[in-house]
Amino acid sequence: MTSSSEKSLGEAARRFLADLPAEARSSSQQEIYRFVRWYGWEQTFAGLVPSGVANYAEQLSQSDADYSQKLELIRAFLTYARKQGWSKVNLAIHLKARKGKNRSTVSRRSKRQPVSLTQQGYDELKAELATLQGKRLQLIEDIRRAAADKDFRENAPLDAAREQRGHVEGRIMELEAILGSAIILDEAREITHTASLGDGVVLQDLASGEEVHYTLVSPTEVDAASGKISGVSPIGRAIVGKVPGDVVEVTVPAGKLRYKIIRIGN
């Protein structure tokens, strides 16, 4: 059974939305899921840090004219998580909207803000975008057919298609923004032996002797099943900037883990 401190964001989001009134759930779902996708569905609250939450507010403020309203939804979610005991700190207070910037200034600056991606990560996001663009066309047709039913009182197919299209459109906008400002990490760069985004890292657990393999990536590329971890995750932050032979400590709900960096490189 999953402990409170290990509650995943995806599971927490579903619980939070289920407790909302139907109307509020419909208007909140897209933005809550957008926040969860940013960090990863399986990310736990123990892996969230105040600076990371503040960074989310920063990137949202640079790309969305209605970000203040949307930040309120995320604050409500984080406050709920704190009350449920899933988060040990009140992360909501770190989700602050920028002040004194008009929409045009924010929009122009967002286009200049780079996002570092590996070539593989860039290609995967580009493929996802192409798939979603095709799915968008199908959903538009589904909505057209469902809307042909004149009985709108209980038109579940129409509601479902509209809701799904909202999710797809939100993800398409997110991907277009990421890809439009992406900087591809040079994986053929001269090896400096200092861990950074794009590097593969071999660690040895000093307690068990077991070796683990990770690849440091941006938050948009995280894939726990493939060993891709964010450079701002607890382990990522401990590794970045270190060299082979360094010993790092990572704080987890169960205590502290100590790793020795065995090798850095792809």
Parse the chain into domains and list their residue ranges.
Answer: 1-112, 114-184, 200-264
Which residues are bridge partners to 205 per DSSP?
259
Q: What are phi and psi of 242, to 5 degrees?
A: -90, 170
3-state secondary structure of 212: strand
Length of the chain: 266
Beta-carbon contacts of residue 61 (< 8 Å; ≥ 6 apart): 67, 97, 98, 101, 106
The H helix count followed by the E strand count for the chain is 8, 7
If we measure between CA atoms, which residue out of 197, 176, 219 comes closest to residue 39? Answer: 219
Output phi, psi for 241, to 5 deg: 90, -5
Rounded to whole angstroms, the Cα distance separating 167 from 165 reads: 5
Geometric angle at alpha carbon 175, from 172 and 179, rounded to 5°: 140
Per-residue b or e along 215-244, where b marks 16 or more CB atoms closer than 10 Å to that residue's CB: bbbbbbbbeeeeebbbbbbbbbbbbbebee
For domain 114-184, which architecture applies? Orthogonal Bundle (1.10)
pTM for the model = 0.40
DSSP three-state, residue 31: helix
The confidence score (pLDDT) of residue 178 equals: 80
- Predicted pLDDT of residue 110: 42
Residue recorded with tokens 């607890």: 234
Please state, in angstroms and rounded to a whole number, the distance separating the CA atoms of residues 220 and 185: 14
Q: What's the CATH number of domain 1-112, 3.30.67, 1.10.3470, 3.90.550, 1.10.150?
A: 1.10.150
CATH code given to domain 200-264:
3.10.50.30
Report the run of H or E that residue 175 belongs to, with start and end: helix 156-180
Instruction: Walk along the chain (266 residues) and give the pLDDT tens digit of each residue.
Output: 445 556 788 888 888 888 888 777 877 888 888 788 777 777 787 777 777 777 777 666 444 556 677 788 888 888 888 888 888 888 888 776 655 444 444 444 444 456 777 788 888 888 988 999 888 888 888 877 777 765 555 667 767 777 788 788 888 888 887 888 777 766 544 445 688 888 889 999 888 888 889 988 888 788 877 888 888 888 888 888 888 888 999 886 667 888 999 988 76
